[in-house]
Amino acid sequence: MAVFNHIPMGEKGLKEVYQWLDDFVIRNESIAYKKLIGKSPDNWEIPAVFITNRNLPNDDKQIAIITLERHGQELGARVVGPEIIHYLSSNDAKEIRDTQVVIVVPVVNPEGFILNEFHSSMTSLTKTERLLLGGLFKAYPPDMIIDFHSLGKVEGSKYDRGDMEAIIPANTTRWAMDEQIHQYVAQKMRNAAESAGWPYEIHTLEDLAAYYFGGTEIGNMPWTYLQEKVYLLHMQDFHDNYDIPEESAYTNYTCGPAYLKWHALVFGMETNHWALSQPGDIASSGMVPCSALLKMGSTRFSWEKDRGYPVNILHGDFRISIRPLGKNASERRSSRTRIWGERKNFSLPQREMPDQETTIARVRYFGKDLPIEFALCLRMRQSPIDRITISGNEVKFESFEDTCSTFVYIPIVMKKAGTIELTIKHPSK
């Protein structure tokens, strides 16, 4: 039984959702509280519900943000927010509450909700979204962010009208294996949805453009252009800090700038309010892939040193990468943000094996944000690692494992720009 088995409509419906949120936080005060992040131009309150184990400090928790109902007529997004919040109070979500602060904004666009109209921008975030969400994200820089929309009989898809539900690993880039990582996570979300009986598709931003901008005539889309991935490059603004003028930039989902600014894991979601005729089904089908993603945020990905969302490869690939430093999630987040901002000032890290017992790793930093602190991380066939030296001096390192290899994680401080070379000694394989 879903929280909402009908689609709340109009002013009455908005008040019904808000009343449910108030009742929820009263019933669940040990794990939930509400904050007003601001008001809509029409003076409707826009609340965010925070869910976490309030007895545990937030320093070592991931920050996950879920925004919904930015586009007023996308009815499915109205029932998914309460369903996710309800799920987060369940026993199944205990580990999520212990290890994450989950922030849900169930209705980003209350006016559109009341009007049952799009009442938003086709080309960018609205001024209200920039102000309110931008403020929220700055105070709680997300490790993961998911933005829920809903396709219907006429909304969205120009080539598949009425039926689709989609996970959109969009607004990301191919930098630091991010495209692969987002696809990997999206497939796990899809598997979870399929196991629960909900057939989801995974679509990239390029595919998505065809839903929205293609026109309805057959053959109206510049398909080659999209497949060559030029689209993303041209439509994302790398200087967008949730504060650029409304007229410019593309952001169909709230999460694009969050990826560029904090290297957050970002997903758009499209549930469906036409093919799914029962509102309770829409709520469940939206909640299932989201809860799968939240659960992943409480585990350690095989290539990550610590528990949390897989956002710590900042340059390079799985075999050699630049990663953040820090003893807890909060420190690693700020280190991550800083290094990510400097990513273009690092060379692609190199590795080579002069002999069977030696691996050399090199990276050059040519930026100005000094001293720069980061970790170099190598995936090794050999173990155990005997010792690591920089210019003949032994340095400390940590290691962690996946099923078939050992990752060696070496904290580095560079006081001036230049190249650093590490020598790693290990048994031969």
Smallest separation, CB 341 to Zn ion (Å)? 30
Smallest separation, CB 204 to Zn ion (Å)? 17
Taking the least distance from each CB to Zn ion, the nearer of 214 and 326 is 214
Taking the least distance from each CB to Zn ion, the nearer of 148 and 198 is 148
Q: Are 421 and 360 in contact (CB under 8 A)?
A: yes
Instruction: Give the HSE-up count for residue 299: Cα atoms under 13 Å, Cβ half-sphere.
Output: 11
Helices (H), 170-204: 178-195
Residue nearest to Zn ion (CB): 149
Nearest to 270 by CA among 115, 70, 10, 20: 70
Binding region for Zn ion (CB under 5 A) out of 63-71, 230-238, 320-328, 397-405: 63-71
How far is it, in rounded angstroms, from Cα 350 to Cα 32?
46
Binding region for Zn ion (CB under 5 A) out of 35-43, 88-96, 149-157, 165-173: 149-157
Smallest separation, CB 71 to Zn ion (Å)? 4
How far is it, in rounded angstroms, from Cα 144 to Cα 281?
25
Please tell me whether residue 375 adopts helix, strand or coil conformation: strand
Taking the least distance from each CB to Zn ion, the nearer of 122 and 370 is 122
Contacts of 57 (CB under 8 A, 6+ apart): none
Binding region for Zn ion (CB under 5 A) out of 22-30, 146-154, 329-337, 407-415: 146-154
How far is it, in rounded angstroms, from Cα 169 to Cα 379?
26
Smallest separation, CB 147 to Zn ion (Å)? 9
Binding region for Zn ion (CB under 5 A) out of 147-155, 192-200, 259-267, 385-393: 147-155
149 is a contact residue toward Zn ion (CB under 5 A): yes
Q: Are 182 and 167 in contact (CB under 8 A)?
A: no
β-pair partners for 262: none
Number of chain positions touching Zn ion (CB under 5 A): 3
Binding region for Zn ion (CB under 5 A) out of 14-22, 35-43, 121-129, 148-156: 148-156
Smallest separation, CB 93 to Zn ion (Å)? 26
N residues, the chain: 429
Site for Zn ion in 193-232 (CB under 5 A): none
Q: Which one of residues 40, 61, 71, 422 is an interface residue with Zn ion (CB under 5 A)?
A: 71
Q: Are strands 387-390 and 393-394 parallel, antiparallel or unpaired?
A: antiparallel
Q: What is the DSSP letter of 349?
A: P
Binding region for Zn ion (CB under 5 A) out of 74-82, 307-315, 333-341, 389-397: 74-82
Contacts of 216 (CB under 8 A, 6+ apart): 158
273 is a contact residue toward Zn ion (CB under 5 A): no
Taking the least distance from each CB to Zn ion, the nearer of 75 and 376 is 75
Please tell me whether residue 87 adopts helix, strand or coil conformation: helix
How far is it, in rounded angstroms, from Cα 346 to Cα 318?
16
86 to 115: interface string for Zn ion, x by CB under 5 A: ------------------------------
Taking the least distance from each CB to Zn ion, the nearer of 28 and 123 is 123
Smallest separation, CB 14 to Zn ion (Å)? 18
Taking the least distance from each CB to Zn ion, the nearer of 210 and 361 is 210
Smallest separation, CB 208 to Zn ion (Å)? 10
Smallest separation, CB 168 to Zn ion (Å)? 11
Taking the least distance from each CB to Zn ion, the nearer of 71 and 119 is 71
Contacts of 417 (CB under 8 A, 6+ apart): 365, 366, 367, 368, 370
Smallest separation, CB 273 to Zn ion (Å)? 11
Taking the least distance from each CB to Zn ion, the nearer of 169 and 316 is 169
Taking the least distance from each CB to Zn ion, the nearer of 74 and 178 is 74
Residue 45's H or E segment, with its range, is strand 45-51
> For the range 379-384, what are the long-range contacts, defined as Cβ-Cβ under 8 Å and sequence gap of 24 or more?
379/303, 379/318, 379/319, 379/320, 379/405, 379/406, 379/407, 380/405, 380/406, 380/407, 380/408, 380/424, 380/426, 381/405, 381/429, 382/406, 382/426, 382/427, 382/428, 382/429, 383/426, 383/427, 384/426, 384/427
Taking the least distance from each CB to Zn ion, the nearer of 121 and 350 is 121
Binding region for Zn ion (CB under 5 A) out of 35-43, 122-130, 145-153, 359-367: 145-153
| Interface with Zn ion (CB under 5 A) | 71, 74, 149
